[in-house]
Structure 1
Amino acid sequence: MTPFEYSRAGDIADAVRLGAATQAKFLGGGTNLVDLMRETIERPAALVDITGLPAEITERDDGGLIIGAAVRNTALAEHRAVRRRYPMLSRAILAGASAQIRNMATVGGNLLQRTRCTYFYDDAGSRCNKRNPGQGCDAIEGFNRNHAILGASEACVATHPSDMCVALAALDAVVHVEGHAGKRALPFGDFHRLPGDRPDQETTLQPGELITAIELPSQPIAARSTYRKVRDRSSYAFALVSVAAALELDGGKVKDIRLALGGVAHKPWRALKAEQALHGGEATADAFRAAAEAELTDAVALRDNAFKIELAKRTITAVLGELAGDAR
């Protein structure tokens, strides 16, 4: 592990000040960052420990929630308001990792997880544009069973690993950040980036900016929601395909819908084409399948992951069918 300086932030302002140091990283639970440091993929010159920052979940008068970035994943999944008003989020977190990891991992850190692509982790023998821009991407012609089918580029075909973030994408969450230039509120869909020609730039955070909170707007539709994760084994494993969905019906027709996919792209994928296809239409299995087909129209398979396209379609159809049955 590369030597680094260590400091502990007393409050948000202190964290922002300390985080302005060149090549500084914020340390929350460390469940991803420390692993990457051990593998020398991440080489921060300084770590700013933010585990002492407030870890609170605040219920707003309108029914929404403000979730402090230092809140542990277990605490968020078990919170009564989350389980009642946003069940897809609780289920996504519980599907995401072992209890030990959930007990350590923070909400802010979950947003900043880096890909689990094997070639990204292989610093000794593989080319990776995410690790070294301009080097090339060995995954494109290599073993790519777990890689992206949507939004990929010639520079990178890696997928985002988070389950929690798929639910947050479906819930129209807002990411609150603070840096030397002040405070910003970022729509969740604008927080993560598609790879383009700079896959090393994974988010729209500016250098030294700190995630301070996640805002969940009040959404009555979210009370009837779920999360399904398809993976190679039922124990701790990353998604081949996952679906976060919320559905509201009115007389057998789709009054409102939220839909996002995981395991298929460089960022949590909001399924806007499917939502548009279903809004106002009949809530039938055929309609759900047609919407899934519309969403996957632009999917591009690699050598080993063509199965993901059909898997995504079937999972979308099944999850929406389950929600529609519960709504009737």
Structure 2
Amino acid sequence: MNPFQYSKPDSVQNAVHLAGPASRFIAGGTNLLDLMKENVTRPEHLIDITGLPLREVTETADGGLLIGALVSNADLAWHPLIEQRYPLLSQAILAGASPQLRNMASTGGNLLQRTRCYYFYDANVPCNKREPGSGCPAREGLNRIHAILGASAQCVATHPSDMCVALAALEAVVHVQGRGGARTIAFADFHRLPGETPERDNQLADDELITAIELPAAGFANHSHYLKVRDRASYAFALVSVAAALDMNGPVIRQARLVLGGVAHKPWRDQGVEDWLVGKAPSRETFSAAADALLQDAKPLEHNAFKVKLAHRAIVRALGDAAQGGQTR
């Protein structure tokens, strides 16, 4: 681990004025410290934001919630308003990591997890995400956990977060602050596909700090379900996950949200498929057709073709569970 400067500002304004290309904000550090220990990232300046007033969950004027960036994953999952109004988010958080990590991990930090790839985490091998232009050994190497959608010749890594899959389905909004002022980013636009610049995971500028996540009033509390398929039932990343949320108008679907995790560089959503579900009655045949459409552009690699069938079955099951009322845990 390289030497670095350490600061602990007492305000958001002071924090962003300290930030720059060689700095990193740190809260729980559950991902950043691992990256530093493995020499994957070498910040020259750590800016400790744990003293900032970003730990509240408050109701918004339109009936939604504003979640401070420093609210822990554990506190968020068990927050009464999250459990009641947004059970999809609570389920997703509790499906991720371990209790110890959820106690440390922050809401804002969860959004900033680096993508998952064996080669990215090994500083002794090439990786376009670490060193642009050096190559992507995962394309021809061991790629069982890698992307089947939205990948590029430069990178086939997958996004690791469970929470972000649910936030994408809920159409959350990310509040950020930089030296130039505050702005909001729609969750669908926050994370990036790799394209030709896989080193960039999101749309934040070097000086911008996530201050809050805003949830709209619609939480799909009566018909939502988060399904995570993984190699073991305890602490493990998703091979495939599905956030399914439905708004029912009697026997037909009035609105649908369907997002996949574990299959792409960011939570994977196709609003055209969601629109197609509107007006249809829930059935296995309908949900299977939706899965076909969502996965039609899948491009599996040598070792992960199983993800296509796995994702199809997971989509059908998650939508079916959501239609029947989901489950609280």
Moved over 3 A (4+): none
Aligned counterparts of 2:173 and 2:233: Cα–Cα separation in 1? 31
Give the alignment of 1:1-328 within 5 angstroms.
Answer: 1-20=1-20, 22-54=21-53, 55-124=55-124, 126-326=125-325
How far apart are 1:115 and its partner, in Å? 1.8
Aligned counterparts of 2:261 and 2:7: Cα–Cα separation in 1? 35
- Paired residues, number: 325
Aligned counterparts of 1:122 and 1:268: Cα–Cα separation in 2? 24
Query: Residue by residue, what CA displacement relative to the aligned partner does 1:205-257 show, whole Å, maximum 9, x if unpaired?
Result: 01110000000010053443121100000010000000111112223211111
SS in 2 for 1:151: coil
Distance 1:148 1:301, change over 3 A: same
How far apart are 1:291 and its partner, in Å? 0.5
Identity of aligned residues (%): 59
SS in 1 for 2:176: strand
Letter of the structure 2 residue corresponding to residue 112 of structure 1: L
- 5+ residue gaps, structure 1: none
8 Å CA contact 1:86–1:223 kept in 2: the answer is: no
Aligned counterparts of 1:171 and 1:287: Cα–Cα separation in 2? 22
Query: Residue by residue, what CA displacement relative to the aligned partner does 1:151-173 show, whole Å, maximum 9, x if unpaired?
Result: 00000000000000000000000
Aligned counterparts of 2:279 and 2:220: Cα–Cα separation in 1? 15
Aligned counterparts of 1:220 and 1:306: Cα–Cα separation in 2? 33
RMSD across aligned positions (CA): 1.1
Distance 1:175 1:220, change over 3 A: closer
Query: Residue by residue, what CA displacement relative to the aligned partner does 1:249-286 show, whole Å, maximum 9, x if unpaired?
Result: 22321111111110000001123232122111121110
Aligned counterparts of 2:242 and 2:222: Cα–Cα separation in 1? 16
Letter of the structure 2 residue corresponding to residue 276 of structure 1: D
8 Å CA contact 1:58–1:66 kept in 2: the answer is: yes
How far apart are 1:11 and its partner, in Å? 1.2
Aligned counterparts of 1:312 and 1:272: Cα–Cα separation in 2? 17
Letter of the structure 2 residue corresponding to residue 237 of structure 1: A
Letter of the structure 1 residue corresponding to residue 84 of structure 2: R
How far apart are 1:53 and its partner, in Å? 1.2
SS in 2 for 1:35: helix
8 Å CA contact 2:88–2:226 kept in 1: the answer is: yes
Query: Residue by residue, what CA displacement relative to the aligned partner does 1:113-159 show, whole Å, maximum 9, x if unpaired?
Result: 012310001111x2210010000100000000000001000000000
Aligned counterparts of 2:219 and 2:68: Cα–Cα separation in 1? 22
8 Å CA contact 2:255–2:275 kept in 1: the answer is: no
How far apart are 1:181 and its partner, in Å? 1.1
